[in-house]
Amino acid sequence: MTDKLAVPRQPTLKSETRQTNWRRSNLLKYNAHLAVQRSLVSGVLQKGACEVCGSDKVDGHHDRYDEPLNVRWLCRRHHVRLHQGGEDMFPMRQRPK
C-alpha cells in the first residue's frame, strides 16, 4: 500500500456554511479525509479494529495529514480521548516517520 495518491482536483467549495468554511481553512485535513473515504470505497484501504480496545466500530485518525492513507483506527471513545487529552495511548508502538 502506498501513501501517495494521484493528486485529486481541489474540491469546489462555494457555499458559506460553517462546514464549508472549516474545509476551506483546513484543506490538508479535508483532503486527507477525502482520500481515506475514496480508498475505503475503492477497496484500497480497509478499516481495522480499534488499536486500543479492539472494537470494530471505528473512526480513522491521522497523525500526519500529508500521509493521508497512514491511518490509525480508533473507536469513537478512544479517538475523542486522544484529541481531548492529547495523550499517547500507544507508547509501545513505533510509528513510521
DSSP 52: T
pLDDT digits (tens, 9 = 90+) for 1-47: 455 555 555 666 567 798 888 888 889 999 999 999 999 999 999 99
Say if residues 8 and 31 touch (Cβ distance below 8 Å): yes
Q: How far apart are CA 21 and CA 14, in angstroms?
A: 9
**pLDDT averaged over every residue in the chain:** 83
Contacts for 54 with CB less than 8 Å, ≥ 6 apart: none
Q: Look-up: residue for cell 473507536?
A: 75
Q: Is the pTM of this model over 0.75?
A: no
